[in-house]
């Protein structure tokens, strides 16, 4: 499934057009990209039906370009733009605080073309000769460059998900394997993955290797051995596959699910209990003698290994050496939430702002999906987005929500998504905001502020307005921009005091807050709310991504507003 890949390419085109100061087109490309990244259906299938231009925001022109990518694997228009721009814009824009405007200025003034050039300009002190580029910004940029170097390209979880499902199903159908599972960061539900790690048990490993290295999307075979191979797919994603013995499958899974820190701690624990643990199994230590088969005590399943070590089975999402081993030894692991614990979905859009479906259609779908409530948070804004809610249209919107309430059997919360302005103010007064069930505040503009100002902006909004949810807190968009500079510790503290819930936004290119940040938010005493940020019916189906983030953050039902009884939700929303 190439949806996210194509969406990202369209975003890159938008950036390049913006740099060239082409009017309107960048927004058109971004709108199309946004629709495609939340499309539930495989875009290839949509193209085959000839229905590309039925996707919201995809007109004749963009549809043709998508077809070209699907048919030929590349896009000449994109290549041409890249040449014209003559810069490594993709990489440069991944640095926090750098937008098209600044990149253009850097290119004009200092001839900077790529990240290396930027780093040189900072280190030689040339950067600060440009107006608007002070010492503080230099530091932010340097940090961003370091981050970029230490994090080579990673793939969003949502982009890897259909690939993983497809590969597992191909192998299961092929009957070359008795068991196959995905390990690594993907299995831990991490929001981005470096590569994919598969593990299998087979009586015919050579057939498994053959099938793996000749999968349809494989572009390059990096290694092909008797029991271990590595390939790279057309989109650049690398995948490893190992075949292990049936007796070792559990211990190998434990090892390859990781993470590394978890493995190291577990190994230490095993030693302290008179065992030695490796990917080959758990063995009883007998003096200083070499590890022997007859000393093998466990390894067939993960459960078996954990049990022998006297602990509960630890869910992969929380394996990170963040206290889970101690908790499992005391049989006090958190009761992590699951998909079926969700009673409702926050943060949804409709045709009242930039969504494709009506309020009624969205609410009915949520009801069909078995939810007990839905909250609408259409954009309330002044500029930028096409057709946002304004003070004038607000009453019409609320009246229609009133009508929808009579037609569905679930609770429909009224609300808006309102911009936190540069100075921390909102466009609506407190008393107006209080008329809404749920005020979700977030940021879409001026994202390049330095940390102290940004933190002040956010905290001041949370202090001074009756906000219920702080939306997509870090503003990260995979492949497009890094997290903004924000002191989350201060934000969590302020949010807790003001009873503001932190959002887990499940747009596939956001997953914001991510798992480790959810963990920090919960430890700071905050509650989290899963917001689907759905702009059409299919967007409602992204909620499992939020469950993953919540689980990685050790969230139990009490921590996640979506899991509460309606009465409690209503009470906690009151101001």
Chain residues 439-468 in contact with Zn ion, contact rule CB under 5 A? 442
Residue 279 binds Ca ion, judged by CB under 5 A: no
Q: Single out the segment in contact with Zn ion by CB under 5 A; choices: 49-57, 161-169, 348-356, 437-445.
A: 437-445
Sign of the C-alpha dihedral, residues 390, 396, 399, 405? negative
Q: Choose, by CB under 5 A, the member of 184, 189, 281, 344 that binds Ca ion.
A: 184
3-class DSSP assignment, residue 521: helix
* Cβ closest to ligand DGT, residue 193 vs residue 270: 193
Which 8-state DSSP code applies to residue 216? T
Distance CA 246, CA 187 (A): 20
The closest alpha carbon to 155, from 200, 199, 186, 124, belongs to 186
Residue 191 binds Ca ion, judged by CB under 5 A: no
Residue 533 binds Ca ion, judged by CB under 5 A: no
> How is 531-570 classified by DSSP, letter by letter?
EEEESSGGGGGGHHHHHHHHHHTT--GGGBGGGS-HHHHH
Q: Is 274 exposed, middle or buried (0-12, 13-18, 19+ CB in 10 A)?
A: exposed
Q: Which residues form the interface with ligand DGT (CB under 6 A)?
A: 184-185, 193-195, 197, 255-256, 258-260, 263-264
CB 172 within 8 A of CB 141: no
* Cβ closest to ligand DGT, residue 189 vs residue 466: 189
Residue 197 binds Ca ion, judged by CB under 5 A: yes
* Cβ closest to Zn ion, residue 320 vs residue 531: 531
- Tokens 């614990």 belong to which residue? 341
Q: How far is the CB of 185 from Ca ion (least distance, A)?
A: 5
Residue 453 binds Ca ion, judged by CB under 5 A: no
Q: Single out the segment in contact with Ca ion by CB under 5 A; choices: 176-184, 204-212, 461-469, 563-571.
A: 176-184
Q: How far is the CB of 196 from Ca ion (least distance, A)?
A: 6
* Cβ closest to ligand DGT, residue 298 vs residue 443: 298
The option from Zn ion, ligand DGT, Ca ion, none interacting with 213 (CB < 5 to 8 A, set by class) reads none
Q: Choose, by CB under 5 A, the member of 68, 181, 195, 367 that binds Ca ion.
A: 195
Q: Which residues pair with 562 in a beta bridge?
A: none
Q: Considering all CA atoms of the chain, what is the largest pairwise distance in Å, rounded to the nearest integer?
A: 81
Residue 181 binds Ca ion, judged by CB under 5 A: no
Q: Single out the segment in contact with Zn ion by CB under 5 A; choices: 41-49, 255-263, 361-369, 436-444.
A: 436-444
3-class DSSP assignment, residue 344: strand
β-bridge pairing 155-156 and 192-193: antiparallel
Sign of the C-alpha dihedral, residues 315, 318, 321, 325? negative
Q: How far is the CB of 154 from ligand DGT (least distance, A)?
A: 7
3-class DSSP assignment, residue 347: strand
Q: Single out the segment in contact with Ca ion by CB under 5 A; choices: 53-61, 237-245, 465-473, 477-485.
A: 237-245
Distance CA 282, CA 262 (A): 16
* Cβ closest to ligand DGT, residue 184 vs residue 531: 184
* Cβ closest to ligand DGT, residue 266 vs residue 522: 266
By the criterion CB under 5 A, which residues form the site for Zn ion?
A: 442
By the criterion CB under 5 A, which residues form the site for Ca ion?
A: 184-185, 195, 197, 240
């Amino acid at each position: 499934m190439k949806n996210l890949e194509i969406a990202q390419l369209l975003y890159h085109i938008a950036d390049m057009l913006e740099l060239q100061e082409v009017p309107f087109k960048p927004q058109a490309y971004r709108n199309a990209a946004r629709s495609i990244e939340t499309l539930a259906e495989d875009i290839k299938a949509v193209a085959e039906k000839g229905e590309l231009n039925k996707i919201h925001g995809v007109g004749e022109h963009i549809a043709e370009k998508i077809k070209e990518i699907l048919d030929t694997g590349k896009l000449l228009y994109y290549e041409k733009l890249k040449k014209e721009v003559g810069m490594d814009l993709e990489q440069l824009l991944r640095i926090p605080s750098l937008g098209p405007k600044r990149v253009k200025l850097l290119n004009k003034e200092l001839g900077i073309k790529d990240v290396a050039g930027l780093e040189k300009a900072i280190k030689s002190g040339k950067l600060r000769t440009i107006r608007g580029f002070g010492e503080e910004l230099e530091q932010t940029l340097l940090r961003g460059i370091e981050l970029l170097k230490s994090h080579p390209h990673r793939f969003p979880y949502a982009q890897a998900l259909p690939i993983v499902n497809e590969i597992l199903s191909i192998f299961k159908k092929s009957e070359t394997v008795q068991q196959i599972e995905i390990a690594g960061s993907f299995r831990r539900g991490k929001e981005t993955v470096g590569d994919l790690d598969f593990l299998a048990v087979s009586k015919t490993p050579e057939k498994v290797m053959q099938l793996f290295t000749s999968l349809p999307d494989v572009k390059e075979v990096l290694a092909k051995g008797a029991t271990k191979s590595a390939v790279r797919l057309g989109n650049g994603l690398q995948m490893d596959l190992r075949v292990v013995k049936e007796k070792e499958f559990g211990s190998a899974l434990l090892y390859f699910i990781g993470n590394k820190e978890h493995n190291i701690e577990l190994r230490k624990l095993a030693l302290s209990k008179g065992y030695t643990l490796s990917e080959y199994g758990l063995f009883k230590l007998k003096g200083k003698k070499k590890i022997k088969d007859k000393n093998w005590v466990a390894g067939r399943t993960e459960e078996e290994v954990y049990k022998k070590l006297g602990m509960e089975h630890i869910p992969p999402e929380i394996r990170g050496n963040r206290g889970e081993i101690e908790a499992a030894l005391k049989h006090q692991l958190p009761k992590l939430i699951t998909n079926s614990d969700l009673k409702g979905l926050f943060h949804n859009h409709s045709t009242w702002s930039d969504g494709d479906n009506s309020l009624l259609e969205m609410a009915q779908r949520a009801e069909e999906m078995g939810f007990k409530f839905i909250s609408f948070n259409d954009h309330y804004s002044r500029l930028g987005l096409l057709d946002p809610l304004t003070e004038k249209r607000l009453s019409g919107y609320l009246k229609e929500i009133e009508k929808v309430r009579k037609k569905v059997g679930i609770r429909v919360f009224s609300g808006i998504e309102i911009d936190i302005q540069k100075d921390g103010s909102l466009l609506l007064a407190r008393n107006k905001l209080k008329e809404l069930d749920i005020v979700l505040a977030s940021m879409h503009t001026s994202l390049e502020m330095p940390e102290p100002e940004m933190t002040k902006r956010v905290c001041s909004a949370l202090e001074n307005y009756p906000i219920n949810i702080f939306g997509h807190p870090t503003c990260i968009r995979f492949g497009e921009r890094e997290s903004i500079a924000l002191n989350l510790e201060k934000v969590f503290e302020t949010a807790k005091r003001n009873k503001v819930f932190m959002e887990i936004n499940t747009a596939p290119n956001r997953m914001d807050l991510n798992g480790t940040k959810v963990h920090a938010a919960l430890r700071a005493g905050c509650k989290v709310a899963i917001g689907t940020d759905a702009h059409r019916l299919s967007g409602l189906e992204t909620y499992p991504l939020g469950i993953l983030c919540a689980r990685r953050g050790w969230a139990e039902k009490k921590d996640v507003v979506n899991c509460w009884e309606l009465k409690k939700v209503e009470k906690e929303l009151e101001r």
